[in-house]
Amino acid sequence: MMKLQPSKSLTKDQTESGLKLVIADGMTAEAMVVFTSGTFLTAMAISLGATNFQLGLFAALPTFTTIFQLVAIWLVQRFNNRRVITSIFNLLARLPIIAIGLMPFLFTRGTSVQVLLLLLFFQHIFGDIAGASWNSWVKDLVPEKQLGVFFSRRSRMAQTLNVTLSLATAFGIDYIKAHYPSQEIITYNILFLIGGGLGLLSVGFLLRTPEPRAKKINRKLLTLFTLPLRNRNFKNLLAFNSVWAFALNLATPFFSVYLLKTLGMPLSYVISLGILSQLSGILSFKLWGQYTDRFSNKTILSICAPLYAFCILFFAFTAMPTTWLGRLGLLVLIYLVSGWSVAGINLALSNIGLKLASKNEAIAYLSVKNMFAAFFSTIAPLVGGLLADFFSSHQFNWNMQFISTTSVTNFTLVNLRGWNYFFIFGGLLALLSLRLLKLVREPGEVDKMRAIIHLRADFRKTLRNRFGRQVADHVYLPAIIARRRSKKLLKQKRYSAFPVLPDKNLT
């Protein structure tokens, strides 16, 4: 019979077994997410005739229900068994997904936008309760020194699976739309049915994962909720994370809508761009895992966040190239850079929350962090959905004319309309939020420039090992300059507070 009570302490073998089961749970849960959210959910909602405001609601649902993580705090406080709480509420979260999949087989009218919203609302409520309990559980299970490496490996494996499933499913849906258009909606229902089944499998892995016994929390719920707000450093993290979440969710939930509706791209193209971004992230997960442990999460955020903010800004100009190939080329570049940077951002944001949270009240700290981010993440797409119709009828053009004696040539410098406004506002606000990141203090943080120097040097070293020194020097000339500059900077007093790394990393 399976033992579901927490253990007073875990052996090394139990910990290693638990980490493998956490990865297995991540794989099955990721497969479920692929089939039941993201671009496929957006495409299903559009096929059902969802309005812009309803599309905003779909984007806001995962964050709107995060307030229910307070229930998880009370349950963990009351029963002190995170494995049982996580498993039960994950099971309840899978049932609405299976119900959506069964709709066309049980009712002749099938699925409507309203029913889809209602069922997903309950799915996210139960999922958020389970997620808060899981966060506390995994903080105690994963050794702190392995956080970066472990979660980068888990994320890399999950994203690889995501890419494979997304690509195959996208081409399958495009084929059905082209040859059997009347079966498109039921295809999405089948995806929900498969996703729900995989979600149930993930619950089985959770039940087998060992749980170290947590210190019992005796504080009142309201007191627990206010603890993170009295921690100045954690409050600074909340401020940055909230503004960053608002900026991103003002724009990014509508990327797929913009590509599908405004640019008229086929679903397979949209999915392929997303996969390209994921592949870029997969290739960088190992790197970010090593560097978050080596340079700190805040340092990685200060490098990756500006890059992603500029990706959002440049998305506003993707309709400007006059040729299809020009548009596609710009989109490919944006998705490559965004995937590389998002991998670092997501890993660093998750780990810095785990690292700065108080060990004994971790569930309260992490839940408050998630709820603050969720509140602003919920407002942003709703604002975007409400204002979308207004901006769709207002256009901003900035043209330049070249006049000769025989002709007049017009050049379009800026052409903003519809979703483009949100991309501009979101990108600028994301850049402004970085000022708040400077106020956060993380143990072991390293100056941004020092990390960049080592990133450049390591990249050149990789090129040199694979293609030879001469090729590396020609392909990556800035690394030569970085090498010389790094030796100079390492001697300066402003780096004296940081440990000097071996010279082999700089060559």
Residues 75 and 223 in one domain: yes
Instruction: Give CA–CA dist 366/364, Å, rounded.
Output: 6
Q: Within a domain: residue 427?
A: no
Residues 359 and 459 in one domain: no
Per-residue confidence (pLDDT) for residue 20, from 0 to 100 = 93
DSSP state of 495: G
pLDDT tens string 245-278: 888 887 777 787 788 877 888 877 887 888 888 8
Token pair, residue 321, equals 């190239």
CB 398 within 8 Å of CB 261: no
Q: Within a domain: residue 423?
A: no
Share of the chain above pLDDT 70, in %: 81
CB 453 within 8 Å of CB 480: no
Per-residue confidence (pLDDT) for residue 412, from 0 to 100 = 59
Q: Within a domain: residue 7?
A: no
Three-state SS annotation for 172-233: HHHHHHHHCHHHHHHHHHHHHHHHHHHHHHHHHHHHHCCCECCCCCCCCHHHHHHHHHHCHH
pLDDT tens string 172-182: 888 898 898 88
Residues 386 and 453 in one domain: no
Residues 369 and 469 in one domain: no
Residues 345 and 475 in one domain: no
Residues 373 and 489 in one domain: no
Q: Among residues 356, 391, 426, which one ends one of the domains?
A: 391
Name the residue with tokens 């309760």: 129
| Lowest-confidence segment of 8-12, 310-314, 486-490 by average pLDDT | 486-490
DSSP state of 258: I
| Lowest-confidence segment of 32-36, 82-86, 342-346 by average pLDDT | 342-346
Q: Within a domain: residue 83?
A: yes
Q: Within a domain: residue 410?
A: no
* Dihedral pair phi/psi, residue 488, rounded to 5°: -70, -45
Instruction: Give CA–CA dist 307/249, Å, rounded.
Output: 16
Q: Find how far residue 244's CA is from the centre of its chain.
A: 12
Residue 300: other Cβ atoms inside 10 A: 31
Cα dist from 503 to 288, 457, 497, whole Å: 21, 10, 17
Domain enclosing residue 84, as ranges? 12-391
Q: Among residues 347, 371, 391, which one ends one of the domains?
A: 391
Highest mean pLDDT among 32-41, 107-116, 144-153, 186-195: 186-195
- 403: Cβ contacts below 8 Å, ≥ 6 apart: 409
pLDDT tens string 137-184: 988 898 877 877 888 888 888 888 988 898 888 888 888 988 988 888
Q: Within a domain: residue 46?
A: yes
Q: Average pLDDT in the 431-446 region?
A: 85
Q: Average pLDDT in the 231-236 region?
A: 89
Residues 383 and 473 in one domain: no
How deeply is 160 buried, as exposed, middle or buried, from its count of CB atoms within 10 A (0-12, 13-18, 19+)? middle
Residues 352 and 459 in one domain: no
Asked whether the whole model's pTM tops 0.85, one would answer: no
CB 69 within 8 Å of CB 370: yes
Residue 331: other Cβ atoms inside 10 A: 22
Q: Across all residues in the chain, what is the average pLDDT?
A: 79
Residues 165 and 35 in one domain: yes
pLDDT tens string 17-56: 999 999 999 999 999 999 998 778 888 888 888 887 788 7
In this structure, the dihedral spanned by the alpha carbons of residues 226, 231, 234 and 236, taken in order and rounded to 10 degrees, is: 100
Fill in the amino acid letter for 128.
Answer: D
Residues 216 and 323 in one domain: yes
State the total domains in the chain. 2
Per-residue confidence (pLDDT) for residue 392, from 0 to 100 = 62
Q: Within a domain: residue 326?
A: yes
Q: Among residues 391, 413, 429, which one ends one of the domains?
A: 391
CATH number of the domain where residue 170 is located? 1.20.1250.20
Residues 164 and 247 in one domain: yes
Q: Within a domain: residue 204?
A: yes
Residues 234 and 348 in one domain: yes
